[in-house]
Amino acid sequence: MTITIGEHSKAFPDQLLIFGPHDTIQMGKFSGLSVGAKVLGGGEHYLDNVANFSLRSFHLQEINEVESDIYAKGPTIIGNDVIIGVNALVISGVKIGDGAVVGAGSVVTKDVPPYAIVAGIPAKIIRYRFSEKQIKALLRIRWWDWSIEEIKEFKEYFYAGVDTFISKAFEKMKKEGRL
């Protein structure tokens, strides 16, 4: 069982659910789960079993047998700068890209691209937060990897519009030899 939460991200323990020793949830930096949101790291049931109920656990046999009644579809990965809305549910094995937004009450069953806004049951892409060109630039900038001091020094540009932010960030990175 592995749960990794990046710096400055927010989630309560009852929001990240893992069930077996191989379940994994990774959450990037500056991401957050709103009230009632849940992320599953596993707990999927084999739908071709005759009984949905875990008969092994009913008889209190070894934990290894109980765990064989459930599985994870793979690691559940939440990127950086992601917001997951109130009462949303993210199923195991899903990857939510950097900068994405999951609408309230949504059920995410498939991967979400970076900077997509998804909503519904099952969640579908409603639109993207920015243009394709802007998204590529933001993914190159990776502001969430900056130090807190850098972010504080740059804070006015976070609210000056995406094109201004990108332009100023590229200037900064070029000056620092990171481009």
Please give the positions annotated as active site: 45
Q: Are 22 and 45 in contact (CB under 8 A)?
A: no
Gap between the Cα atoms of 88 and 119, Å rounded: 9
Q: Are 37 and 83 in contact (CB under 8 A)?
A: no
Q: Residue 36 is encoded by which pair of tokens? A: 């009632």
Q: Residue 88 is encoded by which pair of tokens? A: 């949303």
Q: Residue 121 is encoded by which pair of tokens? A: 């049951």
Q: Are 126 and 103 in contact (CB under 8 A)?
A: yes
Neighbouring C-alpha atoms within 13 Å toward the C-beta of 83:
10
Q: Is 111 helix (H, G, I), strand (E, B) or coil?
A: coil
Q: Residue 53 is encoded by which pair of tokens? A: 């109920």
Separate counts of helices (H) and strands (E) for the chain:
5, 15
